[in-house]
Amino acid sequence: MRVASHSQLKAYAEQRISVGSEVRFAREGIPHGSAYRRDHMMAAETSGVRPDHVPQLHPRRWAALGVIAISQLMVVLDATIVNIALPSARADLGITVADQQWVVTAYTLAFGGLLLLGGRIADYWGRKRTFMVGAVGFAAASAVGGLATTGPLLFGARALQGVFGALLAPASLALLTVLFTEARERAKAFAVYGAIAGGGSAVGLLLGGVLTEYASWRWCLLVNIPIALLALILAIPLVPESKADGDTSYDIPGAVVVTLGLASLVYGFTEAAKPEKGWNSGTTWAFIGAGLALLVIFVLIERSSRNPLLPLRIVLDRNRGGAYLTSMLVGAGLFGAFLFLTLFLQNVLGYTPLKAGFASLPTTVGVLISAAVASSLLPRIGPKIPMLVGPVLAAAGMISLRFIDLDTSFWAHLMPAQLLLGLGLGFTFVPLSSLALVGVPAHDAGAASATLNATQQVGGSLGTALLNTIATSAITAYIASHLTANQPPSPQVQLEAQVDGYADAFTWAAGLILLAGVITAVLIKVSKDDLPSGETAVHVG
């Protein structure tokens, strides 16, 4: 009797495995030689797992990424696209200077306050379904805002945009998590997402300037309709459905309390930015105190809830917790920087809306460059080093902006400063988006991605309010120190005062971003070996 050698047995086993994979491929109707088969077999080789046991890679995942990118860009740029259009909208609808901030804050209040609930809805109801409902609702709210005839109607439309954005954003990021389960592919996917998160605000300024200059401020809202419809049409055939398994009951008390808490906190900081209120106002501190108290109650509810809205294990992990803190601080510095850069370009240098929009392009260019580099580095060196380099570069750009004056050169000063800022944001946001979801089970993907979005939005709202208060105080102090007896401040002094206030804001923004780098150094411990090829092995489609 002839006994087979070890090598013969191994070859026979491999042949059986290969045949088994081929049978499964044929059964699923996947053509021989297709990219899907090659990707599947490559994943098996790199992971050491049997090919017929490797989690399936969705064959249309890259096309689905394009759809997700379109929708996410729409949500991100909508936070800044109205900045340049705001003076025109205020004049057209008769909105007072005191109320004009609601065009921005109505959106951020609804968006930031409802994100956690939106993440759980995406998990339980279905991420594709939530994505599509969010796109339809966002388009409808944009139509109402673009056709608004009164200020309150515009404010309401912006709030409604925030509501549907809170469905769209976490569904988008959760879909990325379940579509891309291989490390290198996931790094590339998050590079796209990180580039949008870092550069979308600058794109919003550019697009807002073009539309305001050549069409109308109304098109800053109406432009969302074709974008949302395009995403919707493409999502139907390209984006697979996925949802959480197991217990899918909603934590209604937690949803109500955290929404009210975040809204109250953001509203309190918005009140602090108003000249007639400020930090000495009882209203300001009442809303901030109420918001903090409600968030404490929310934590207590989550600790005792059987199926919490935000499982505390998501944020108590040191790496994810560090990622969320970094996201909040970078968001605080970033949103404020774009606001004051826009004001400086138009109010001091006299740029038109179109010119001001184009002047923000270097930031976008920097983000695109560093996002591509970070994407290739992430699987090789892990997330920590890029997340340390990013805040240093971004803060250097901010510090450079601190030295602006009345005749600052764009090419010699503003362009390189913004390029540094963009490079830093790309190196920060790409690993940040991936790190915030490392090790998160599929059941919690929507909640984890919603938390990342919420920290950026809340950080942006709080940072803008804080930096606006700092800038306003510096402007008032400068004018007071240059007043002559019984004479109003000259136009020159007023411009110098604005420059002084904006410079102070850029300095504090740099400090916030550097603090994010310190938190990364202390808390983030993930290395490249902690980014497995399939940390969320979820079957979709």
- pLDDT, one tens digit per residue, over 439-486 is 777 777 777 877 887 888 778 777 877 888 788 888 888 998 988 777
Residue 17 has pLDDT above 70, yes or no: no
Residue 326 has pLDDT above 90, yes or no: yes
Using the CB atoms, write b or e for 431-466: b if 16+ within 10 Å: bbbbbbbbbbbbbbbbbbbbbbbbbbbbbbbbbbbb
Cα–Cα distance measured from residue 81 to residue 150, given in angstroms and rounded to the nearest whole number: 19
CA angle (91 as vertex; 227, 95 as ends), nearest 5: 90
Residue with tokens 């398994």: 245
Partners of 484 in the β-ladder: 487
CA angle (87 as vertex; 135, 487 as ends), nearest 5: 150
Residue 51 has pLDDT above 80, yes or no: no
Residue 535 has pLDDT above 60, yes or no: no
- pLDDT, one tens digit per residue, over 187-211 is 788 778 777 866 777 788 788 888 9
Residue 530: the pLDDT is 63
Residue 31 has pLDDT above 50, yes or no: no
- Residue 64 CA: distances (Å) to CA of 35, 67, 70, 170: 15, 5, 10, 15
Backbone CA torsion sign across 159, 161, 165, 166? positive
Instruction: Give this prediction's pTM.
Output: 0.76
Count of other CB atoms within 10 angstroms of residue 48: 8
Cα–Cα distance measured from residue 519 to residue 537, given in angstroms and rounded to the nearest whole number: 30
CB 390 within 8 A of CB 424: yes
Mean per-residue pLDDT for 27-33?
43
State the average pLDDT for the chain.
81
Angle between helices 183-214 and 61-77 (to 10 degrees): 40
Residue 38: the pLDDT is 46
Most confident of the ranges 133-142, 430-439, 468-477:
133-142
Residue 150: the pLDDT is 94
Using the CB atoms, write b or e for 529-541: b if 16+ within 10 Å: eebebbbbebebe
**Residue bearing the bigger pLDDT, 141 or 347:** 141
Residue with tokens 């509501």: 163
